[in-house]
């Protein structure tokens, strides 16, 4: 996690200034007036902003949609005021978390659960997403930390270690041992991360806003790593980084790398698009059975419920003895990390997918003809192809048979 920038403590008067705000008063001009430093080109003088987003103050219990006494900051307060006050603040409560990509994603997921309750809530959710996009787009260039020289050049300590490791594992690298390459880059990345975590530029990586350390920084400053060579059916290794530049011997390998990246972006979406057409043609007539229906199948999927899988299976039914229990936002914490037996439409033996196998999500959303929603599967491939154009790093991971099946 990036080092937290030290903020000042607001006076009562300053706190009142924020508390009295209405969402409509929070315009781009207003945010720039209070959060942006000003630079005078004539006098060459900088005027510090009136507040920083990380300046702090206390909210007493119940003072503003918060149940307990909390310490919050100006940025988080503005987010709650501008994006949530007119949408879900009363239901969801004050969100007092650092607004990283991951945390905002979790809030959005939680609000999506509220949104699923009715059409009115769904309209509010769209309004919330518009407000969130507006807030991020209009002020980020004024308040976010820029890239620094330190993060833009290879770190001497890391370069020294890299030389040692490349020499030590010369044979393994020549033998194209991917596990050794992965270990080397992981060690160097961890070392670089440790050295950069107090640098302001690391905020960009830590927040999840732009570039992943594991991909962007690795290729720019550590090494390019393995690239698949389809003519030989094996991996070629480039040990230089983009900053160090490539050797003459690397040129053919880089060409392979480029083809793989652009194949993903140019031909890949066509493949996924065709799959979407096939899925739509094949499943367009699939309709759900009546609410409360149960085909009585004994089939179910057994797996350990992770947070990610919980999102996917929200409102589905778990088998507990002879009972079916719905997984929902109220009980999800009880099941995450535990093995569950989940009913799944792939085991349904009814004429149409039944309520017990399909879960309640579609019924809540008022969807009966669910066939066309199955193109979500090809959508995953489409996203993967598009992302593959930005991230061609080869990673190794261990996977159990159970994980492969879920």
Query: What does the binding site for Zn ion look like in residue numbers (CB under 5 A)?
Result: 295, 348, 350, 354, 357
Q: How many helices (H) and strands (E) does the chain have?
A: 19, 10
Q: Please say which residue, 225 or 345, places its beta carbon nearer to Zn ion.
A: 345
Q: Please say which residue, 192 or 354, places its beta carbon nearer to Zn ion.
A: 354
Query: Minimum distance from CB of 296 to Zn ion (Å)?
Result: 7
Local structure of residue 374 (DSSP, 8 states): G
Q: Please say which residue, 354 or 370, places its beta carbon nearer to Zn ion.
A: 354
Q: Please say which residue, 84 or 295, places its beta carbon nearer to Zn ion.
A: 295
Query: Minimum distance from CB of 286 to Zn ion (Å)?
Result: 13
204 vs 325: CA distance, rounded Å: 42
In residues, how long is the chain? 406
Query: Minimum distance from CB of 56 to Zn ion (Å)?
Result: 53
Work out whether the CA dihedral 319, 321, 323, 328 comes out positive or negative: negative
Query: Minimum distance from CB of 343 to Zn ion (Å)?
Result: 7
Query: Minimum distance from CB of 303 to Zn ion (Å)?
Result: 19
Whether 207 and 159 have beta carbons less than 8 Å apart is answered as: no
Nearest one of 272, 336, 341 to 302, comparing CA atoms: 341
Q: What count of other Cβ atoms lies within 10 Å of the Cβ of residue 97?
A: 14
Q: Please say which residue, 310 or 348, places its beta carbon nearer to Zn ion.
A: 348
**φ, ψ (nearest 5 deg) of residue 39:** -120, 125
Q: Please say which residue, 196 or 348, places its beta carbon nearer to Zn ion.
A: 348
Distances from the Cα of 305 to the Cα of 113, 301, 333, 348, angstroms? 18, 11, 10, 21
Output the six-digit token pair for 346: 């792939």
Query: Minimum distance from CB of 324 to Zn ion (Å)?
Result: 11
Nearest one of 127, 126, 125, 119 to 364, comparing CA atoms: 119
Nearest one of 279, 299, 287 to 344, comparing CA atoms: 299
Q: Please say which residue, 342 or 354, places its beta carbon nearer to Zn ion.
A: 354
203 vs 264: CA distance, rounded Å: 29
Query: Minimum distance from CB of 350 to Zn ion (Å)?
Result: 5
């Amino acid at each position: 996690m990036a080092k937290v920038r030290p903020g000042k403590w607001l006076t009562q008067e300053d706190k009142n200034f924020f508390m009295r705000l209405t969402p409509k008063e929070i315009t781009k001009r207003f945010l720039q007036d209070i959060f942006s430093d000003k630079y005078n080109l004539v006098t060459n003088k900088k005027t510090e902003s009136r507040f920083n987003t990380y300046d702090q103050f206390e909210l007493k219990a119940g003072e503003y949609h918060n149940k307990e006494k909390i310490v919050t900051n100006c940025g988080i307060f503005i987010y709650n005021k501008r994006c949530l006050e007119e949408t879900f603040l009363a239901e969801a409560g004050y969100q007092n978390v650092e607004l990283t990509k991951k945390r905002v994603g979790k809030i959005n997921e939680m609000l999506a659960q509220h949104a699923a309750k009715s059409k009115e809530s769904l309209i509010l959710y769209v309004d919330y997403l518009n407000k969130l996009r507006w807030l991020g787009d209009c002020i980020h260039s004024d308040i976010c930390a820029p890239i620094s020289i330190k993060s833009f050049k290879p770190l001497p300590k890391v370069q020294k270690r890299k030389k040692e490791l490349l020499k030590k594992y010369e044979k393994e690298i020549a033998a194209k041992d991917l596990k050794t390459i992965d270990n080397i880059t992981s060690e160097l990345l961890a070392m670089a991360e440790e050295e950069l975590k107090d640098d302001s530029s690391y905020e960009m990586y830590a927040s999840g806003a732009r570039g992943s350390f594991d991909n962007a920084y690795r290729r720019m400053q550590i090494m390019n790593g393995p690239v698949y060579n389809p003519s030989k059916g094996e991996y070629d290794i480039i040990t230089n980084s983009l900053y160090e530049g490539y050797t003459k011997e690397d040129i053919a390998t880089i060409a392979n790398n480029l083809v793989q990246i652009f194949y993903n972006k140019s031909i890949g979406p066509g493949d996924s698009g065709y799959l979407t057409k096939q899925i739509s043609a094949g499943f367009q007539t699939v309709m759900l059975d009546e609410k409360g229906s149960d085909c009585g199948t004994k089939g179910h999927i057994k797996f350990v419920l992770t947070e990610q899988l919980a999102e996917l299976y929200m409102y589905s039914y778990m088998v507990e003895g002879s009972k079916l229990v719905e997984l929902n936002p109220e009980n999800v914490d009880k099941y995450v990390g535990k093995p569950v037996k989940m009913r799944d439409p792939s085991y349904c033996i009814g004429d149409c997918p039944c309520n017990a196998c399909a879960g309640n999500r579609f019924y809540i959303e008022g969807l009966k003809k669910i066939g066309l929603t199955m193109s979500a599967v090809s959508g995953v491939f489409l996203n993967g192809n598009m992302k593959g154009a930005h991230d061609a790093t080869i990673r190794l991971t261990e996977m159990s048979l159970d994980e492969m099946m879920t």
